Amino acid sequence: MADVLFAAWVIARKDLAIEFRTRSAFFSAVIFALLGLVIFYFAWDPTAVTVNDLAPGVLWVIFTFSGLLGLHRSFGVETEDHAIDGLLASPVSRESIFLGKAIANLIFVAAVQLIAIPALVVFYNLPLGNVAIPLIAIAFLAAVGLVAVGTLFSAMAVNTRLAELLLPMLSLPFFVPIVIAASQSTAKLLSGRPIVEAAAWIKLLIAFDIIFVAACTVAYPFTVDD
Amino acid sequence: MSSTISSGGPPIVEVAELTRAFGTRRALAGVTFSLGRGECLALFGPNGAGKTTLLRVLAGLLRPSSGSARVSGIQLPGGALARSRVGLISHRTMLYEALSPRENVSFAARLYGVRDVNARVEDSLRRMSMLERGDAPVRSLSRGMQQRVSIARAMVHTPQLVLADEPYSGLDDGGARALTSLLGELRSAGTAIIVVTHNLAEGLSLATHAAVMQRGRFVRYDPADRIDATAYSTTYREALAGG
């Protein structure tokens, strides 16, 4: 198990180093998230919908779609001069490759969230107060599930002609339970309800995380072995 | 045509009646040969003859459809242990363009569990005369320099079997000489090598054995002491004409 995790970290570090050099996906995702916030802000009628009702939806729409930008790039870098062959011919397990990609994607999504959440708070004048830490925890839990599913489908879609279309088409149906649980628990917190009222949604989020991480890790080798 | 070589020790590669099909098309149609320590097989043949498919099966990237293939006694597909014994060079560099040669080779070294990574990386880059450009992004290097880095990456873990698919592709004279010298050193150190090339002179200069493939089979196979460059040239031209 230690070998699997070590190899996964080596692969994640490599992916993060590439993203740090190019910054193409990160800038795209951050700008997409900020533009999303602005557009929703101007489309919002505060007399019809309160900020506490609107913000969870806005937050999870922009996280879901900005995350897809990074997920698409995850296996895209492996198509450069068939780099994936070098990875698959190495002695690391297929599970390590999946987990490495997923760890890099998780850090990518978390970095986007670190910018987008404060931006949301400022734009919508959210009374974050003492719910900041639970909100960050929910964002992290949701990111785990989104990244597990997205990484698997990124691997499947990367060699197709319509990869940029296929990835969201395949991923979004599986994102639904994660996004519902995340947005519902976020709504409870932002509306000032006690955290125990969000506990059922958070438990659901954890359950889906466990299922998706395990299922996608097991399924990944079948997407690369002929 | 079956081909057995014995060098005294246990063979590094043993292939018996190996087939690999893609749908109804058989890319490998019953290949049999073995290769011992320090031996080099030069593999010639027209495009689509099955040479790259054979290397990809031996590298663990493709599963055999039938027959048997072993690397260092490990039946393929043999998982991580078999893959750790193989170094793969291709005309595709398999490098990350945003990273430097040093980072690419270091990444490979870590994947293969190499000890003393930094020293091995420096040694691999030095052998391919890439130390000076070791920190430049790969995308800024010429095609030939990228190929040198790719070779350094494939050698960093000291493989027992080197699979080289068109390794001279893109190399200038200096690079080609460095590669030939490196492959010669590896052979002397006991590494088994399979080289796929369209250049008969380069292939035969390295080889202890040579084969011509056509339609997934060996149509000619000879040990080094019986290699006749003229006869090979004729068979190769016939294979090219036959597709």
pLDDT in tens, B71-93: 988 888 878 888 999 999 988 89
Q: Do B178 and B133 share a domain, yes or no?
A: no
Q: Is the confidence at residue B4, as pLDDT, over 60?
A: no
Q: Do B73 and B184 share a domain, yes or no?
A: yes
Q: Do B75 and B137 share a domain, yes or no?
A: no
Give chain B's mean pLDDT. 87
Residue B147 inside a domain? The answer is yes
Q: Is the confidence at residue B226, as pLDDT, over 60?
A: yes
Q: Which residues contact B183 (CB under 8 A, 6 or more apart)?
A: B40, B162, B164, B193, B195, B206
pLDDT on residue A217: 94
* A197 lies within 8 A of chain B by CB: no
Answer whether A132's CB lies under 8 Å from A118's CB.
no
Q: Do B76 and B168 share a domain, yes or no?
A: yes
CA nearest neighbour of B203 among B226, B175, B233, B173:
B233
Last residue of a domain, one of B142, B158, B174: B158
Residue-wise pLDDT for A26-36, tens only, equals 899 999 999 99
Residue-wise pLDDT for A168-191, tens only, equals 899 999 999 999 999 999 988 888
Q: Which residue in chain B has the smallest CA separation from A20?
A: B98
Residue A47's pLDDT band (cuts 50, 70, 90): confident
Q: Do B225 and B193 share a domain, yes or no?
A: yes
Q: Do B196 and B149 share a domain, yes or no?
A: no
Residue B14 inside a domain? The answer is yes
Instruction: Please report, for the domain that includes residue B168, its CATH number.
Output: 3.40.50.300
Last residue of a domain, one of B120, B135, B158: B158
Q: Is the confidence at residue B108, as pLDDT, over 90?
A: yes
Residue B93 inside a domain? The answer is no
Query: What does the pLDDT average to over A121-130?
Result: 82
For residue A10, list chain B residues with Cβ-Cβ distance below 8 A.
107, 110-111
Query: What does the pLDDT average to over A85-110?
Result: 94
Nearest-Cα distance to chain A for B44, in Å, is 22
Residue type present at position B98: A
Looking at the DSSP bridge assignments, the partners of residue B28 are B20
Mutation target for A interface from B71, B107, B114: give the one with most A CBs within 10 A. B107
Q: Is the confidence at residue A163, as pLDDT, over 50?
A: yes
Mutual angle of helices B143-155 and B173-188, in 10-degree steps: 10
Residue B95 inside a domain? The answer is no
Q: Do B79 and B189 share a domain, yes or no?
A: yes
Q: Do B79 and B180 share a domain, yes or no?
A: yes
Element (H, E) at A217: helix A195-224
Residue B242's pLDDT band (cuts 50, 70, 90): low
**Vertex B137: Cα angle to B170 and A112 (nearest 5):** 130
- Across the beta sheet with B192-196, the strand order is B86-89, B161-165, B192-196, B40-44, B209-214, B217-223
Element (H, E) at A138: helix A132-157
Q: Is the confidence at residue B43, as pLDDT, over 60?
A: yes
Query: What does the pLDDT average to over B27-55?
Result: 91
Tokens representing B23?
């749908």
Closest residue to B94, CB basis, from A22, A82, A226: A82
Residue type present at position B18: L
Beta-carbon separation of B92 and A226 below 8 A: no
Q: Is B161 exposed, middle or buried (0-12, 13-18, 19+ CB in 10 A)?
A: buried
Q: Which residue carries 């976020």 as its tokens?
A: A186
Q: Do B7 and B61 share a domain, yes or no?
A: yes
Q: Do B20 and B6 share a domain, yes or no?
A: yes
Residue B200's pLDDT band (cuts 50, 70, 90): confident
Q: Is the confidence at residue A18, as pLDDT, over 90?
A: yes
Query: What does the pLDDT average to over A58-73?
Result: 88
- Among the listed ranges B102-106, B107-111, B189-193, which one has the minimum average pLDDT value? B189-193
pLDDT on residue B89: 92
Q: Tell me the C-alpha distance between B237 and A185, whole Å.
A: 71
Q: Is the confidence at residue A213, as pLDDT, over 90?
A: yes
Give chain A's mean pLDDT. 90
- Among the listed ranges A49-53, B207-211, B235-239, which one has the minimum average pLDDT value? B235-239
Residue B143 inside a domain? The answer is yes
Nearest-Cα distance to chain A for B62, in Å, is 6
Q: Do B79 and B122 share a domain, yes or no?
A: no
For residue B113, list chain A residues with Cβ-Cβ distance below 8 A.
91
Query: What does the pLDDT average to over B219-238?
Result: 78
Q: Is the confidence at residue B5, as pLDDT, over 50?
A: no
Instruction: Quote the number of domains for chain B.
Output: 2
Residue B35 inside a domain? The answer is yes
Last residue of a domain, one of B158, B174, B206: B158
Q: Do B22 and B51 share a domain, yes or no?
A: yes
Nearest-Cα distance to chain A for B140, in Å, is 14
Query: What does the pLDDT average to over B130-156?
Result: 91
pLDDT on residue B243: 56
Residue-wise pLDDT for B156-165, tens only, equals 999 999 999 9
Residue type present at position B99: L
The share of chain A scoring above pLDDT 70, in percent, equals 100
Residue B164 inside a domain? The answer is yes
**Whole domain around residue B151: which residue ranges?**
100-158
Q: Is the confidence at residue A221, as pLDDT, over 80?
A: yes
pLDDT on residue B197: 87
